[in-house]
A and B are shown apart, each in its own frame.
Chain A
Amino acid sequence: MEPVTTITGTAVPLDRSDVDTDQIIPSDWLKRVERTGFGKGLFSEWRDDPEFVLNLPQFGGASVLVAGTNFGTGSSREHAVWAIMDFGFKAVVSSRFADIFRNNSTKNGLVPVQVPDEVADALLRAVEADPSLEITIDVSERTVSAPAAGIHSAFELDDATRERFLLGLDDIGLTLEHADAIDTFEANRPAWMPSIPR
C-alpha cells in the first residue's frame, strides 16, 4: 500500500450509529471480481435520497468521513473499504469500529481514527455547523485535530500498524521475513489435523 502520514481536508458528517457493511456497499456490488470502481456503490441505497449527506454539495470533495459509533458492523467484505477509498475518503472517524472493518482498513491505507465518544460527537457537530472545517489526521503522532473548532485528540493505533501506514509496507512481505518460524511451526503440527490435497 501507499504510505500514509498526514491527511488534511474537509469531512462528511454521517450522524448514524451501527452503519453496517451492507449499507456501505450493498451485496449486488460484491459480484465484481475487480478491486476498483466501487465508489459508485458507496451507500448507494441511501444516496437515492437527494437529502442524504453524501449528496449535499457543501460536503463535496471531503477526505474524512465522520460517523456514529460502531462503524462497519456486519460482513467481512473488504469491498466496503474499497468503496470508501474509491469515493475519495482517506480516513474514517468513529468512537468504535467493527473488528474486521478495522483490519480491512489498515490493510488498504484507510485510517480508522477511533476517538472517545465525546470527541466523535464534537467533530460531527462541528462539521455539520461548518462544512469547510479543516481536519488534520497525523498518523505519526496519532492525533486528529480541527483547530478552528478547538478539537484535538489522540487516537489509538498500535505501533506495528502505525509503522506500516507510515512506510507503506507490504504485509505479506513482512510476514515472509518470518519464513523460518513458519517452517518450524509447521514441522510440529499434530498429525490428526485435516489435509485436503486436490
Chain B
Amino acid sequence: MAPRTLSEKIWDAHQVVAGGDGPELLYVDLHLVHEVTSPQAFDGLRLAGRGVRRPELTVATEDHNVPTEATDQPIADPISRRQVEVLRENTTAFNITEFPMRHPDQGIVHVIGPELGLTLPGMTIVCGDSHTSTHGAFGALAFGIGTSEVEHVLATQTLHQQVPDTMAVNVDGALPPGVTAKDIILAIIGLIGTGGGIGSIIEYRGEAIRALSMEGRMTVCNMSIEAGAKAGLIAPDDTTFAYLEGRRHAPSGAAWSEALDYWRSLPTDEGATFTREVHLDAAALVPHVSWGTNPSQVAPITAAVPDPDTLADAGARDAAQRALDYMGLTAGTPIRDIPVDTVFIGSCTNSRIEDLRAAARVAEGRTVRSGMRAMVVPGSWAVRNQAEAEGLDKVFTAAGFDWREPGCSMCLAMNPDKLAPGERSASTSNRNFEGRQGRGGRTHLVSPEVAAATAIAGTFATPTDLD
C-alpha cells in the first residue's frame, strides 16, 4: 500500500461508502452533544419519526449556557434554562448519557471527552461545535458539524464528508522558556491566516509538538478551526498512551494491548506526502497577543500594534483598519502599553489542570492589579476538584482572582460572564471576533501565563516582566 498520512489512515478505516468525486460516507465512533446545537436536531428526528441509531456512542453535557457560580440554583436566565432543560428531556427520551450541571463528570464538552478516556487515537469524533478539533491531540479525526449533521449522525451514526486535503505544519526546534502551546498556535494562524486551512486536515509535527504535554497538544489542535482547517491532529505517541492508560473509558487488559498495537501503526508513513507543508521555527517564538478581531491578527508581545497602511493587500488593510477602530487601538502602540481591565482564564482552549497550574505559578504571592476583574473558570468539575486538591484555588483567591465553577463562560458570553461595551480583556479563549465576549467588548487572545501576568501588571505582560 502507498505511504499514507495519519489522517488518511483514520479516514480510510472509517469509510462506509466511497464517494468518487463527491462526499464519502464516514462512520462516527463518538458523538458529543451539548445544549446549543442539538435541540433542532432532536426535533428533526421526532418530525421524521426517527430514532438515535447508537445512543451508547453518544454523550451529552451542559456547558455553553451554564453559570459559573451558584450552579446549585436553577439558571436565572429563562431562555438558557429552557435550553438546558430541553437537552435533559431529549437525552432522556432518546436514552443518551447526559451530565447535568454539577455532575462530577460535567464540564466543557472538549475537556470531559479526553478526561474520561472517551477520546482515543484512531477514532472519528464529531460534535456540533467547531472546537471539536481539540480531540485531534490524541491522533483522532475530530471535527465540528452543524445541527443538520448532528441530526444525521444521531439517525445514522455516519456523515457525508468531502475528502479533505492534507497539510503538515512542522514546528521545528525547541520552544524557548516562557513560550507555550498557545503561542505556537497563535503564530501558526498568524502565518497561514484564518482561511489557510480551509478544506484541509492539519497534522502538527516536529520537535516542539512532540515535546508538548497532552494539554498543550489539545490547545494547539483546539484552534485548528481558527485557521479554517477541517480538523487538526497529532500522531499518538508515548505521551498520549501515558495520559490515556487507566482512564475510565480507555481500554484495559488485552484490549489495551490490542489498541496499543493499532495506535502505534497510525503515525504518518515515511514517504507519505501532504498537499501542503508549512514550517515554523519554535526557537524564534515569543509569547503572542492578538490585536485585532480575527485570530490571525496577532503579534509578538514585544511588538507594537501594526500600521494597516504597511499591509500590501487592500482587503487585509481595510480589515486591519476596521479592527483597530473596533478595538480602540492606535497603530504603533507597544502591545505591553495596552491597559486591560478584565482577565479570563478558561475555555476549551486553556482550562485544563496544566493551564491552571501555569497561571497559578504566576499568581502565587502576587496581587491582581486594583480595578482588574480577573476570573479563573476550570474546564470541568474534575479539573476544578483536582486544582482544589492541589491548593490552586487558594493561590488564585489570595492573589485576587475569582475562582469559579466550570463552563464555557466568557469565551462566548452565553452565560452571565460578559464584557461590557468598551471593556478590554486578556483572554485564554480562542476567538477575538467583534462582540464575542459581550457586545462592544474587546478581546485579546493570550496564553494562561500571559493572562495571569497581565492581571497583575494591568497591561500586557509576561511572567518575567513581573520580576
Minimum CB–CB distance from B187 to chain A (whole Å) comes to 18
| Given the contacts A73-B294, A99-B228, A16 and B322 also touching, CB distance less than 8 Å | yes
Q: A171 to B80: give the CA distance in the assembly, Å.
A: 30
* 8 A-B pairs with the lowest CB-CB distances in the bound complex, closest first: A107-B148, A160-B22, A104-B146, A78-B146, A192-B251, A33-B39, A192-B259, A76-B144
Chain A residues within 8 Å of B64, by CB: 30
B23 nearest CB neighbor, chain A only: A160
Residues on B facing A (Cβ under 8 Å): 16-17, 19, 21-23, 25, 27, 29-30, 36-37, 39-40, 43, 48, 50, 53-59, 64-65, 77, 79-80, 82-83, 86, 91, 95-97, 117-118, 120, 123, 128-130, 132, 144-149, 151-152, 155-158, 160, 162, 194-195, 198-199, 225, 228, 230, 249-251, 255-256, 258-259, 262, 294, 315-316, 318-319, 322, 412-414, 431, 433-436, 439
Please tell me if A126 contacts chain B, counting CB pairs below 8 Å: no
A58 and B354 CA atoms in complex are apart in Å by 55
Quote the shortest CB–CB distance from B138 to chain A (angstroms): 12
Q: How far is the CA of A98 from the CA of B262 in the complex (A)?
A: 33
Given contacts A17-B315, A32-B83, 13 further A-B contacts (CB under 8 A): A45-B435, A70-B194, A76-B128, A78-B37, A78-B148, A100-B130, A182-B27, A182-B156, A192-B120, A194-B250, A195-B57, A196-B57, A198-B55
- Show 15 residue pairs from A and B whose CB-CB distance is below 8 angstroms, ordered by the A residue: A22-B436, A45-B435, A69-B315, A73-B294, A76-B145, A77-B37, A78-B148, A81-B146, A100-B146, A160-B19, A181-B17, A189-B27, A190-B259, A194-B250, A195-B57
- Residue on B nearest A179 in the bound complex, by CB: B156
Q: Which residues of B contact A45 (CB under 8 A)?
A: 434-435, 439
* Pairwise interchain contact A172-B57, C-beta atoms closer than 8 A: no
In the assembled complex, how far is the CB of residue A64 from the closest CB belonging to chain B, in whole angstroms? Answer: 20
Q: Which of A20, A100, A196 contacts B144 (CB 8 A)?
A: A100
- Which residues of chain B are near A97, meaning CB under 8 Å? 198
Interface residues of A in 4-38 (CB under 8 A from B): 16-18, 20, 22-23, 26-28, 30-35
Instruction: Contact check, B195 vs A73: say whether CB atoms are below 8 A apart.
Output: yes
Report chain A residues within 8 Å CB of B97: 196-198
The 8 Å CB contact of A73, one of B17, B65, B228, is: B228
A74 touching B36 in the complex, CB below 8 Å, given contacts A22-B434, A23-B433, A195-B56: no
- Does the CB pair A76–B319 fall under 8 Å? no
Complex Cα distance A55/B374, Å?
Answer: 38
Select which of A27, A79, A178 is within 8 A of B414 by beta carbon: A27
| B162 interface neighbour in A68, A76, A158, A170, Cβ under 8 Å | A158
Q: CB distance B22 to A191 under 8 Å?
A: no
CA distance A30 to B95 in the complex (A): 24
Q: In the complex, what residues of A have CB within 8 A of residue B433's CB?
A: 20, 22-23, 74
Contacts of B250 in A (CB 8 A): 194
Distance, CA A45 to CA B195, complexed state (A): 23
Q: If A27-B412, A78-B37, A196-B57 touch, does A161 touch B23 (CB 8 Å cutoff)?
A: yes
Contacts of A74 in B (CB 8 A): 130, 225, 431, 433
> Does A148 sit at the interface, judged by CB under 8 A?
no
Whether B319 lies near A16 (C-beta < 8 A) is yes
A73 to chain B, nearest CB (A): 5
Specify the chain A residue showing the minimal Cβ separation from B30.
A194
Chain B residue contacts of A27, Cβ below 8 A: 412-414, 436
Q: Which residue of A lies closest to B86 (CB)?
A: A33
Chain B residues in 8 Å Cβ range of A181: 16-17, 25
With A and B bound together, what is the CA distance between A27 and B17 in angstroms?
A: 36
Contacts of A140 in B (CB 8 A): none
Asked whether A196 and B82 contact (CB < 8 A) given A22-B431, A175-B25, the answer is: no
Q: Which of A20, A30, A172, A192 lies in contact with B152, CB distance below 8 A?
A: A172
Given contacts A30-B36, A196-B59, A196-B249, contact A108 B158 (CB under 8 A): no
**Is A153 part of the contact surface with B, judged by Cβ < 8 Å?**
no
Residues in B neighbouring A175, C-beta threshold 8 A: 25, 152, 155-156, 158, 160
The residues of B that contact A56 with a CB separation of less than 8 Å are: none
Distance in Å: Cβ of B275 to nearest Cβ of chain A: 15
Nearest residue, chain B, Cβ from A48: B439
